Structure 1
């Protein structure tokens, strides 16, 4: 009898699982039906989006002299959100990469949400599903410039130019515009945006090999011609999905099926954006593939506008914040950061050009999570929004943003605006190289692929394109778009399928009589195990195909004979491309040095105080938000300090930092002449100086020694009422609070 004791339990579990599995199957079909209906409904809208906010139209690019399908809207603040009119506007530019607009404001915890929570008015630059006739990447850039001019004109009282956020594909577009119109920009945040398209690590990130393995961009031209001059963005979405077959073919759907009682709303919300396929003009897509993806011309300064102006990212004057992740297989850290290696020879060159670059590398978040994840928005984007003025006044150089939990151990927690403390630490180009990247041989292989792409495209245009254009008409092209596999995956579950007419009523009946299986049901456990095996199998297949793709690419384009035939010198030890240097740039720098040299001894209390702060702070190798917040409060509470606008203060900081770099000894020696003669004024200024420095924590030994030198320059010991020497706290000295 003991052998049969388990039979009833087995029968119960199998029966319960069978009912649960059947009910989940019906509910799954109903969710897919809703997905299809929403897809069909959104296809009828003139301006579909997934913004979680109300918005008002400010400017419509379709009415411009060069019409484009882009629009500028102002985000209406949610209830309880207070906007400070003196704070700079934030502008979120959405990526046009095949999906519909709105991902930057997809959730309440989003880039838009955290910007408004920090008190900034927020604008959104989005797009409509279909491009305007004749629209190009350059005309889109000109329209976005008009949008920024409009925003600046609407906020003349704002203390700074707009902070512009470019997500994914919008990032390179923002950077191109900022190089052409630098006067329109405040800080720039580029999130998950590729700027150096060949870069990567061997054995990882195989998407960069796709162009070479397909023979170049002739296939892009073919797809555009088959679309009668229109490129279907669904092909871009499918390309993204091919990077993770386990998720595309199984995990996404299985996760819905296995958790259908709780997962439906989240699944449908994401699909509203993911399935909002848009189109581009064929000329736009050809530019993107030729100039960026395969040609990799942006970081090399080889892109020119229609009037011959070179797009040189070194002309950007605004601070640039680069946000990337090691878990992003679409835009890995190398593609997000290696443009810095292409443009600059050292961090000193970055400083000499007056450029400020801050980067942060997340350890594991995926590509979409960079600008969709609520966790990321509550951390990284929240800190960027709260501390954007700190970033704007950082002295020129290369920094890494370090975010640490505020916790109880942090000194002066009252100066921290959020749950994290942001510290910007100085870095060198070697820190970026340490993330991994291409060597000279890798660069030559990609250069050969780019040359072959140009040849194949020319052959296609000469021999095949005329015949295809003669055959394809707009009606035929539209029919082809409707039969795209991704669109069919939606239509299959829509109202046009008569075999699923029973699903809504059956799903309603299931919801009224839902009987989920117990969590410890043995068949549910087996189901999870089978799912895991399927995922493992698809992952193994992905890794195998990626390895084959990389090995094939390297075998083909690494051939010295092919490289020589394509005009790439296989014996050269120099990279096949590098952003050119300009003698004019050197002349401008020399002229700037001469001008600043003459100003070393000039200035008053503001210049002397800032120079002293920088002299001591430079020993720390970075800046902390607490120190800036302390300085902000000084500026807010003192009438004389508040007369200096943020832009004026930024210019003052940069000038004094450059003076210290030119001749530190003379710059420091000149400080006493800048200080007021009145003893009380000098003491008050020194208290401000010390309070700001100590706000970021205990000084290290070098910084403490520098503060002692500054103390002597301020003649504090003689000015003190008691005449007692001042003790500067260090890591080995117990910290004492000043009387103030």
Structure 2
């Protein structure tokens, strides 16, 4: 048996791993250089055709609409609604929503939906603003709608991260345009959070507001380098940024190369924003937090009020996300509404799902998330579109094989949408009145400091900084230099390539039980722990400084805030037009309760029977949807009918049930068929609750009551 020397074995392995690790960094640098010199760089893993170029619009922007070509193994059903994925412009390049098969685009294609992608070029157009980008995205989606006139449903639009608020803005601007919108890891309520976590929300206050954004834009000669945004993300987790991410590649150098380079191609694809765009984002969203309460008004006078959105809003977030925690993803609901009844009065359907642990990027990058949450959203998108107005949580349960009627769902999960209340959102953590006042003080201080900067400093910076100086500064950014210096642009990296070639030819991995390998990993764990501790202490100090500064009554008073003034951001009031609309709608619904026919009767009775369950099950909807298709009823017509019948039950449940026989008058044969259908659907997916059983018995009794002949006045023609 050969004698081995653990130390020598470790030294050989460590030397080879060092060479291979440095060579991976060299490849990363070369990949970066190729990426930034490409005309339209992206990380999409699908072939595509450019459909519309935003640079050709009357208000040019650096965005484009592309059509995703489905793989040969995928068949697209043109009767299904299109999916449109909008990528976040948060410093990185486009493509993260579809850079591999298990992705948002991948699962939508697999479900048979036509897919489109809205991405962007590295450089913004002159005079480009956030509002112009929004109008360009409206134009793109109008084109998608016009291209698919046979689709049964409006396009589903997905907005990842910073694209989430962009999607919410365009849906508020044009509420008639979109079908369900999916906001994945999207921050919409920037002040929200819980104490001891979410330190990024304190940044604006600790920096004195948005004046630093204005300074950075001036140093960029009117442009904002997205590398600064990426650096902000990296600074949040010093343990991962400074050690763990690179050590993982070093320790697993034989298997991590492809995954690491694939991710770094997107992570290092830094893009540019116009300074005006970034200033709008910081002033109105990051610091001002104006969007959730309808505080943003467009140049053509339209208030971007989320209550205008009539299509379902699906919010997907995670407890493990420290960039967009659940409070920031869902806090807009309690910012905007005082009760679920207020949500219903606006005819709005809100669905949310909270993952237990995945991080921010995993929400749109993780293959396991794509195969679960995004696949379920895609396969149930018509079901979601037909949910009655209200607030729901998506609950996904893995199949075990024992579920009744599991064959009605082809995926690995049973999805239920369970009715929730605003207290369920608050239970995730929310700001109290004092927190709101602290952040309101930051917003006011920011306005003062930015005003002073723009008045006394900006003119000088604008005169002193040239585009050439700004370009040099961008090239010298530490993140950009880190990629370039470790590429073939650096002559020293040629020796690294030769060293790595020799290491690959003579590779001798060390035994994982080698004591020196074990010691290496212990040292690495210690470094990671130390950096994590540093990060926690830094965040605690930042929070303490923020609280001490902005809790000061004198500071608040100097900024015009007083405890006697009440909430600094009260719920938006209901305008007289909406109050009048609701009153008129109630009158109309009450008058129409005795009008209709077998379809209306069946839907109303079914909603009445199932409502005590406080949940909508996809297996029941599958049967309903098959019946709808057999009857050749459009999804929109069915949705409108379902919502109207649901609202009738809300307005006056007793009268809505009492008038059911009127809808069935003179249609004995249809009455029997409808009752059988109600029993079938109600019994699908498991037993009913006792209250639902009682309601079903009540409906059966109504059906057995002799009915007068149909006079023709109340029944509508049944298609």
TM range (shorter): over 0.9
Paired residue for 1:734? none
1:90 and 2:79 correspond: no
Quickly say closer, same or farther: Cα 1:415–1:457, change in 2 above 3 A: same
Q: 1:711 aligns with which of 700, 705, 708?
A: 700
Cα distance in 2 for residues equivalent to 1:575 and 1:430: 21
Cα distance in 2 for residues equivalent to 1:434 and 1:692: 34
Displacement after TM superposition at 1:643 (Å): 2.5
> Which whole-Å deviations, capped at 9, do the CAs of 1:407-466 have from their partners, x for residues lacking one?
112110111120001100100000001111110000000000110000000111111111
Cα distance in 2 for residues equivalent to 1:580 and 1:94: 33
Displacement after TM superposition at 1:82 (Å): 1.0
> Which whole-Å deviations, capped at 9, do the CAs of 1:672-703 have from their partners, x for residues lacking one?
12126344322221121111111121100001
Cα distance in 1 for residues equivalent to 2:540 and 2:304: 35
Cα distance in 2 for residues equivalent to 1:422 and 1:277: 38
Gap runs ≥5 in structure 1: 1-7, 719-740
Cα distance in 1 for residues equivalent to 2:384 and 2:65: 26
> Which whole-Å deviations, capped at 9, do the CAs of 1:311-332 have from their partners, x for residues lacking one?
1110001100000000000000
Q: 1:686 aligns with which of 658, 661, 675?
A: 675
Displacement after TM superposition at 1:582 (Å): 1.4
Are the aligned partners of 2:157 and 2:178 in contact in 1 as well (CA < 8 Å)? yes
Cα distance in 1 for residues equivalent to 2:42 and 2:166: 20
Displacement after TM superposition at 1:512 (Å): 1.3
TM-score (norm 1): 0.94
Alignment of structure 1 residues 131-146 onto 2, 5 Å: 131-146=124-139
1:127 and 2:116 correspond: no
Q: 2:649 aligns with which of 632, 642, 660?
A: 660
Paired residue for 2:100? 107
Displacement after TM superposition at 1:492 (Å): 1.3
> Which whole-Å deviations, capped at 9, do the CAs of 1:505-556 have from their partners, x for residues lacking one?
2211211111000111111111110110001000000000000000100100
SS for the counterpart of 2:396 is strand
Paired residue for 2:687? 698
Alignment of structure 1 residues 210-289 onto 2, 5 Å: 210-289=203-282
Paired residue for 1:426? 419
> Which whole-Å deviations, capped at 9, do the CAs of 1:577-605 have from their partners, x for residues lacking one?
43233122111111111111110110001
SS for the counterpart of 1:551 is helix
1:346 and 2:339 correspond: yes
Are the aligned partners of 2:202 and 2:542 in contact in 1 as well (CA < 8 Å)? yes
Q: 1:677 aligns with which of 666, 675, 678?
A: 666
Cα distance in 2 for residues equivalent to 1:428 and 1:9: 70
Cα distance in 2 for residues equivalent to 1:678 and 1:193: 50
Cα distance in 1 for residues equivalent to 2:345 and 2:550: 38
Q: 1:385 aligns with which of 378, 384, 389?
A: 378
Displacement after TM superposition at 1:497 (Å): 1.7
Paired residue for 1:728? none
1:313 and 2:306 correspond: yes
Paired residue for 2:491? 498
Paired residue for 1:556? 549
Q: 2:42 aligns with which of 43, 49, 64?
A: 49
Q: 2:631 aligns with which of 630, 633, 642?
A: 642
SS for the counterpart of 1:689 is helix
SS for the counterpart of 2:388 is coil
Displacement after TM superposition at 1:107 (Å): 1.4
Cα distance in 2 for residues equivalent to 1:420 and 1:676: 41
Q: 1:302 aligns with which of 295, 300, 306?
A: 295
Are the aligned partners of 2:628 and 2:638 in contact in 1 as well (CA < 8 Å)? no
Q: 1:361 aligns with which of 354, 370, 373?
A: 354
Cα distance in 2 for residues equivalent to 1:23 and 1:539: 29
Displacement after TM superposition at 1:244 (Å): 0.7
1:80 and 2:73 correspond: yes
Cα distance in 1 for residues equivalent to 2:668 and 2:78: 38
> Which whole-Å deviations, capped at 9, do the CAs of 1:614-665 have from their partners, x for residues lacking one?
11111111200000001122233xxxx5321000000000000001111111
Cα distance in 1 for residues equivalent to 2:81 and 2:67: 14
Cα distance in 2 for residues equivalent to 1:353 and 1:10: 78
Cα distance in 2 for residues equivalent to 1:390 and 1:16: 60
Are the aligned partners of 1:613 and 1:689 in contact in 2 as well (CA < 8 Å)? yes
Moved more, 106-115 or 689-698: 689-698
Q: 2:180 aligns with which of 172, 178, 187?
A: 187
Paired residue for 2:613? 620
Quickly say closer, same or farther: Cα 1:423–1:215, change in 2 above 3 A: same
Are the aligned partners of 1:451 and 1:566 in contact in 2 as well (CA < 8 Å)? yes
Alignment of structure 1 residues 605-616 onto 2, 5 Å: 605-616=598-609
Are the aligned partners of 2:46 and 2:68 in contact in 1 as well (CA < 8 Å)? yes
Gap runs ≥5 in structure 2: 708-719
> Which whole-Å deviations, capped at 9, do the CAs of 1:218-261 have from their partners, x for residues lacking one?
00000000000000000000001111111100011000000000
Paired residue for 2:711? none
> Which whole-Å deviations, capped at 9, do the CAs of 1:294-345 have from their partners, x for residues lacking one?
0000012111101222111100011000000000000000000010101111
Cα distance in 2 for residues equivalent to 1:282 and 1:174: 21
Are the aligned partners of 1:51 and 1:105 in contact in 2 as well (CA < 8 Å)? yes
Displacement after TM superposition at 1:81 (Å): 0.6
Cα distance in 2 for residues equivalent to 1:50 and 1:270: 9
> Which whole-Å deviations, capped at 9, do the CAs of 1:272-304 have from their partners, x for residues lacking one?
000000000000000000000000000121111
